[in-house]
């Protein structure tokens, strides 16, 4: 009987989350972001800079001028991506959903995780 109650409660929680405005907003912005040629281009540019910097570290010291430049180029590419309006909106929406999930986790497992930590002393 207890298992059925847990499944019912989990199903109700999922239903509530499916209709939560924060999650709906996040999913909508994510779709817009994934369909934006501009965001895709900026993301690709950032990924290329990651590879360039990673490759640089394979053959040169991180304090060398070439690696410092590659690191700076990566920083600029990431900053440009992060400052795109769709990405900013996504990060803000993601933060709200993450807070919601942390809150739910605390309600469901907060006491459990504390008891588990105490049991492993």
Query: What is the tens place of the pLDDT at every residue in 36-82?
Result: 999 999 999 999 999 999 999 999 999 999 999 999 999 999 999 99
Q: What is the pLDDT of residue 4?
A: 64
> What is the C-alpha separation between 62 and 45, in angstroms, rounded?
21
- Rounded to whole angstroms, the Cα distance separating 97 from 24 reads 10
pLDDT of the residue at 109: 82
Q: Which domain holds residue 54?
A: 36-83
- Are 47 and 70 part of one and the same domain? yes
What are the structure tokens assigned to 39, written together? 């965001």
Q: Do residues 17 and 30 both lie within one domain? A: yes
pLDDT exceeds cutoff 60 at 1: no
Same domain flag for 30 and 69: no
Separation CA 10–CA 58 (nearest Å) = 48
pLDDT of 107: 85
For residue 118, pLDDT over 80 is answered with: no
Phi/psi for 97 (5° steps) reads -70, -40
In the predicted model, what is the mean pLDDT of residues 103-118? 72
Same domain, 40 and 77: yes
Query: 33 pLDDT exceeds 90?
Result: yes
Question: What's the pLDDT score for residue 21?
Answer: 97
pLDDT at 115 over 90: no
Same domain, 15 and 48: no
Residues 4 and 22 in one domain: yes
- What's the average model confidence in pLDDT over 93-111? 90
Q: Are residues 29 and 43 in the same domain?
A: no
Q: Which helix (H) or strand (E) holds 69?
A: helix 65-82
Total of domains in the chain: 2
28 plus 45 within the same structural domain: no
pLDDT for 10 equals 85
């Amino acid at each position: 009987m207890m298992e059925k109650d847990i499944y019912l409660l989990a199903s109700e929680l999922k239903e509530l989350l499916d209709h939560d405005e924060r999650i709906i907003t996040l999913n909508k912005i994510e779709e817009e972001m994934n369909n934006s040629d501009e965001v895709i281009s900026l993301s690709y540019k950032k990924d290329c800079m990651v590879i360039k910097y990673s490759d640089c570290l394979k053959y040169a010291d991180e304090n060398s001028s070439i690696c410092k430049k590659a690191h700076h180029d990566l920083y600029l590419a990431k900053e440009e991506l992060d400052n795109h309006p769709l990405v900013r909106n996504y990060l803000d929406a993601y933060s709200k959903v993450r807070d919601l999930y942390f809150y739910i986790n605390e309600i469901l497992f907060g006491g459990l995780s504390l008891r588990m930590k105490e049991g492993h002393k």
